Structure 1
């Protein structure tokens, strides 16, 4: 059976990770290495200034599972050193969508980016969450539909592989999706948030600062954000980790090397 690595940035005790394991446990041997703690927005950070500690964790459906006191990328490095190879890597199911070029900030997407640099077909999958409704109604997040789409996409990737030039898939599921919701292949939106700083004053009169994001409200058709937020479809964005611009290099040379 194929070997499947599952990680995330919400932590090894996240219900989304358990849902991911449940989705693919019968189509491959599942190995889990995930952070012990919440590591959202960690990007491709690695822990190089201190040793890492790992703990065996009981995750139903997994051959073996480790919780690591590091970042999502640390988990990938640990998994590859410990278990050598995988046929598929999955990061998620994340609580909250990961859209636009800002996926480079996401620990979920960055873990999949890291596995894809090792030649492993990878899927980052995130579920849109209506936090206000979930908190006000006191209901748990339902991962069943997201699990359905993860299983469907994972089986397709294992059976057919990814096309040349595609290293990973970034998948986002609407919170009102059903198993019949349409899947649409998209491109990344330019950005979703415009970060800024809010200055506040503590009780002793000293300033402190929060990074906050102002949401963009308009998105171009064909982008992941438009597909999820406006069309209410499942967005699947093929990602190539070679970020070299697809332009005529001579044009760049003309700009940089023109002495006139």
Structure 2
């Protein structure tokens, strides 16, 4: 089995090293990840400058490259360089990736990119304190999240994903043990309420931070409720076809594309 591994925390993250160790027992692991932290990069792709790759020694990996680009760049590079894969994994991410806002996440977006190439994919994230999400995971115990990654990855390699499912978005509580329950969820509607905070620099010029308050109330059955309230491992099946499940005639009527009367 050939497994592609990437992330958005960077190739030097301890989370990706824990993932290599877990996945190398299932097949050949090829790592292509950003050289630097690229959180919240979404599905950004580098088109207006060349990207550069650096060969990295990563124990347990068949090959490893650091890319000075985005997580999406990494997936594209890996497929061009190494060919097809049986499974793609993005993570283990420092910090949870929940709700419809996974489209902002570089972690989830890398898995989405792989899924567009027909590769079954997993995005996996570990809940950690916010202050620790921008480092390399020093002092973070990834052993339990690596255990669940290996368990889920093995199941996909053996059984595939159900029809209509392109990837799984997995979130592991910070206090999880190997006995923690796995629950299948749907995406919460919203995790943050972002706004812009204005500040003034020493020369009197304004500058701005995008900040946001976290939602604290979640609907049962969602990924956020499972992680934050029930303290369970959340597994959300994702279909990358974002077409709404609606009768197209209803949309045509709203857009006045269907006659409402004999003279229409």
Distance 1:57 1:139 in 2: 20
Distance 2:73 2:221 in 1: 33
Relative distance call for 1:205 and 1:133 in structure 2 (3 A) is closer
Partner of 1:54: 53
Which runs of structure 2 are paired with 1:96-135 in the superposition (5 Å)? Answer: 96-131=95-130
Could you give the per-residue CA deviations for residues 193-220 of structure 1, whole angstroms, max 9, x where no partner exists?
0110000011111100000011111110
Which runs of structure 2 are paired with 1:168-183 in the superposition (5 Å)? Answer: 168-183=167-182
Secondary structure in 2 matching 1:230 = helix
Q: Number of matched residues?
A: 256
Deviation at 1:130, TM superposition (A): 2.6
Could you give the per-residue CA deviations for residues 57-81 of structure 1, whole angstroms, max 9, x where no partner exists?
0011000000000000000000000
Distance 2:19 2:40 in 1: 20
Secondary structure in 1 matching 2:41 = coil
RMSD: 1.5
Partner of 1:91: 90
Q: Gapped runs of 5+ residues in structure 1?
A: none
Secondary structure in 2 matching 1:73 = helix
Partner of 1:234: 233
Deviation at 1:26, TM superposition (A): 1.4
Partner of 2:243: 244
Partner of 1:80: 79
Deviation at 1:133, TM superposition (A): 9.1
The answer as to 2:213 corresponding to 1:194 is: no
Secondary structure in 2 matching 1:153 = helix
Deviation at 1:233, TM superposition (A): 0.1
Relative distance call for 1:51 and 1:145 in structure 2 (3 A) is same
- Contact 2:14 2:138 (8 Å CA) reproduced: no
Distance 1:196 1:233 in 2: 30
Q: Gapped runs of 5+ residues in structure 2?
A: none
